[in-house]
Chains A and B, each alone.
Chain A
Amino acid sequence: MQVLGICRFSYPAIGGFQVEHETIEERIAYLYDPARLEERFALFETVALPCLRAQTDPDFELIIVVGDQLPAPHLARLQALIADMPQARIIAEPPRPQREVMKAILNAARHDFSQPCLQFRCDDDDAVAVDFIARLRQAAADCAVLAGQHKAIALDWNKGYIAEYGPQGIAATDVFRPFDVAALGMLVQGNCHLTIMNFAHNKINQFMPAISFDAPRMFVRGHNASNDSRQKPVKGVPVRPLDHALAEEFRSRFAIDAGAVQRAFGGA
């Protein structure tokens, strides 16, 4: 079964960000600010990509959506980051309403529209466990009879971690967070145009059957300065520096190397 992931990388959508700007020019200036992009690249390189590169089931595709005005040096850097990842490709789009463009990209990427397809989203600072694709595919197979009765079903892993990244390394805490973006997949039937971008992730279980797995911990959600959903004042989640056991879990389960994170953020 085709497994299709989609990731926005500082794509200047019209709408779709939680930080609002008066004009699309303002939004582009905000998104492509060199200091902000430097942090997004550091997170993408050390948090989001390693776990995808390390998937035990490598049979998936990752579409990275960028704006067609992303300055050439940044685009070249992004291309270099994924050069060793046959699963990944970049699609550049002009500013458009984000759900519309993401839906069109997902549907255009389906190899055989008459066949079912697994879809997932990932944010550029989120990590999933290295067996996410394998477990997603297994869950889809285990639930095939149910899935066959519905246009789409959601497959979710509801426990993971929240992490902050910086020059000191990683601080994190475990969370129960059902139907978050990370570690949420959707199985859509053949000949159905629904995509995972048709639904607000946290309300997806009001629109389709939804299976939520309690184990294993399947995601690390980034909480960093330039994370869009963290710009508004939100209730802080207390985190603590990784101890040895958690650092090993981050390495073995999420392919996140605390030392690499620290270096990417200019730490010792």
Chain B
Amino acid sequence: MRTVGICRFSYAGEGGFKVGHADHAALEAFLYGDIRMEERFRLFEAITLPCVAGQTDPNFTFLIVTGTGLPAHHLARLHALTAHIPQCQIVQYPPRPHRRIMKKAVNDWRGAPDAPCLQFRLDDDDAMALSFIEKFKQAAADLGGLTARHPAIAIDFNQGYVFTASAGGVKLWPYHYQYSAIALGMVVQAGSDDTIMSHGHQNLWKAMPTLTLTGEDMMMRGHNDFNDSRLGGKKNVFEYKPMDAKQAAHIRASFGIDDDHVRAVFSRPL
């Protein structure tokens, strides 16, 4: 089944960010500031892209949605970072209501909704397990009896870690959380133009049947200085612990995140 992932990469839309800005110019100034972009690129390079490139099932598209206002030097860097990953497709949209553009990006990729498809989302500082696409497809197939009855169902994996990344490497806190925006997918039937971006991820299970799978580490949730959902003042405080050698090997094998690479990327001079 055709499979697409959608990733917002500092798309300057209307809404969709939890931090408010006075006008569009102020939003772009915030989003595309060099220090913020440097952190987003480092996370994207060291955390997110390795898990896209290393999927055990390579048969999917990874749509990276950014704004038409992304400065040329950032766009060039984004192209360079993803050039070797055939699943990556960078698409640019003008500033419009955020959710509408994300839906449009998914459905532009999809074309006429004459066949079912699989959709998933991943934010630009998070990682999904290298087995995600494979397991997502398998779960969708295993739920054939259920998917046939509903225009859309969601499939989620609820176990993993919250992490921070810095020159000191990755620090972890294990957690369970259902229907976070990581390792979360949707099976959309033919005839439905519903998309995974049409719903807040936390609200998916109010809108359709959902399955959450547990027992395996499938998500890495970034918690970093410029992480948008952390800027609202209600910070979750996790007791992050540095990884020992065994954990580092587990994280590398599960998510493609190499702690030495993380240290190297975050040690570059600004």
Interface centre among A176, A208, A211 (most CB of B within 10 A): A211
CA distance A46 to B182 in the complex (A): 45
- CB proximity to B under 8 Å, residues A191-237: 205-214
Known: A176-B206, A212-B205, A214-B208. A146 touches B143 (CB 8 A): yes
**B interface, by DSSP: helix, strand, loop or mixed?**
mixed
- CB proximity to A under 8 Å, residues B124-160: 139, 141-146, 149, 158-159
CA distance A207 to B215 in the complex (A): 7
**In the complex, are the beta carbons of A146 and B206 less than 8 A apart?**
no
- A29 contacts the other chain (CB 8 A): no
What's the least CB distance linking B135 to chain A, in Å? 11
- B53 contacts the other chain (CB 8 A): no
What's the least CB distance linking B173 to chain A, in Å? 16
CA distance A144 to B144 in the complex (A): 10
Known: A205-B178, A205-B214. A212 touches B209 (CB 8 A): yes
CA distance A139 to B143 in the complex (A): 10
Interface centre among B141, B146, B178, B215 (most CB of A within 10 A): B146
Residues of chain B lying within 8 A (CB to CB) of residue A114? none
CA distance A266 to B211 in the complex (A): 44
Residues of chain B lying within 8 A (CB to CB) of residue A141? 145
**In the complex, are the beta carbons of A159 and B206 less than 8 A apart?**
yes
- CB proximity to A under 8 Å, residues B183-213: 205-213
Complex interface bits, A151-164 against B, C-beta within 8 A gives 1, otherwise 0:
00000001100000
**In the complex, are the beta carbons of A214 and B158 less than 8 A apart?**
no
Interface range for B: 20 to 34
Complex interface bits, A134-152 against B, C-beta within 8 A gives 1, otherwise 0:
0000010111111001000
- B176 contacts the other chain (CB 8 A): yes
Count residues of A near B (Cβ-Cβ below 8 Å). 22
**In the complex, are the beta carbons of B143 and A142 less than 8 A apart?**
yes
Residues of chain A lying within 8 A (CB to CB) of residue B176? 206
CA distance A212 to B206 in the complex (A): 9
What's the least CB distance linking B31 to chain A, in Å? 33
**In the complex, are the beta carbons of B214 and A211 less than 8 A apart?**
no
Interface residue from A146, A176, A208 paired with B214 (Cβ < 8 Å): A208
Known: A146-B139, A212-B205. A206 touches B158 (CB 8 A): yes
Residues of chain A lying within 8 A (CB to CB) of residue B142? 143, 145-146, 149
What's the least CB distance linking A149 to chain B, in Å? 7
Complex interface bits, A62-103 against B, C-beta within 8 A gives 1, otherwise 0:
000000000000000000000000000000000000000000
Interface residues of chain B, those whose CB is within 8 Å of chain A, are 139, 141-146, 149, 158-159, 176, 178, 205-215
Interface residues of chain A, those whose CB is within 8 Å of chain B, are 139, 141-146, 149, 158-159, 176, 178, 205-214
Q: Which 7 A-B pairs have the closest CB atoms?
A: A142-B145, A145-B142, A146-B142, A142-B146, A211-B211, A213-B209, A206-B176
